[in-house]
Amino acid sequence: MAALKLMIYSGTLFNLALLFILCLLIVILVQSVIFIALEITAYVKIKKDPFSPWGSFILAMGIKNIFTNLSGIPFMAAGFILHKQQEPKDAVAQPAARRKARRNPALLMKKAAKARKHRNKGIKS
């Protein structure tokens, strides 16, 4: 903090330019941290629901990154793919509930009788 105060109060153009660049870098760093957290959230949301509107966020981040640097091309491609496959929530087919198999009561009675017979085999009256 003392160095920043000295840069402000020195009055030289070079120190003020360095202070401006330093503040700009801090703002860019904070913005990048926020965007990284939002991208992680978007990937988690998309993993849970592929038709989530978070795909548009990935597309927007790809476009933003293309203007700042070339690393945004894969993000933009992924965003276009996700944006293209967007469908309404109703279109997602719910998995059919599995029916519990019914057992034949006569078969169950035969098995129970057989088990009782084997269990009481050693006891004779």
Q: What is the DSSP string of 91-111?
A: GSPPPPPPPPPPPPHHHHHHH
Q: Which residue bears the tokens 């203007």?
A: 67
Positions in the chain short of pLDDT 50: none
Cβ-contact 19, 43 below 8 angstroms: no
What's the pLDDT score for residue 56?
79
What's the pLDDT score for residue 86?
62
What's the pLDDT score for residue 64?
77
What's the pLDDT score for residue 88?
55
What's the pLDDT score for residue 101?
64
Cβ-contact 38, 31 below 8 angstroms: no
DSSP-H helix ranges across the chain:
2-10, 13-48, 54-68, 72-84, 105-119
